[in-house]
Amino acid sequence: MKQIVLNGCYGCFGLSECAIELYRELGGNKITRYGFDRCDPILIEVIKRLGEEADSDYAALYIEEFDERYDYHITDYDGYETLKTSVNENILRSLIKEGDEDKIVEYVMGARA
């Protein structure tokens, strides 16, 4: 399973100054105040260590897991984020070549639209 950091409240995704400082101390270098790789293992470690202290003023950050075989994107409504997954075409083609209908159905039904 792959982990991703999302914002669970209305507002906007952002890190506190304390979280940014810890991120840099741990060797992170893929960050600005409001934009970075949400699956970055260093970012995930920061959220785990700091909990609510990692949140900026208008954020409630949390970690969610998803099956890395799927493509993903983040949708938001006024800053409240939801993780959506979709079928990866290369994986689907591979399953079709194998010809196992049960695996195909299981894979397609596992996506979170």
Q: pTM for this structure?
A: 0.88
Specify the number of domains making up the chain. Answer: 1
Give residue 32's pLDDT.
Answer: 62
Per-residue pLDDT of the chain (113 residues; tens, 9 = 90+): 999 999 999 999 999 999 999 999 999 887 666 578 899 999 999 999 999 999 999 999 999 999 999 999 999 999 999 999 999 999 999 999 999 999 999 999 999 87
Structural domain boundaries, residue 11:
2-109
Alpha carbons 35 and 53: distance in angstroms, whole number: 18
Alpha carbons 46 and 61: distance in angstroms, whole number: 11
Tokens of 88: 């990866």
H-only helix segments in the chain: 17-25, 41-50, 89-98, 101-109
Q: Is 59 exposed, middle or buried (0-12, 13-18, 19+ CB in 10 A)?
A: buried
Give residue 34's pLDDT.
Answer: 58
Give residue 110's pLDDT.
Answer: 92
Report which secondary-structure segment, H or E, holds 3: strand 2-7
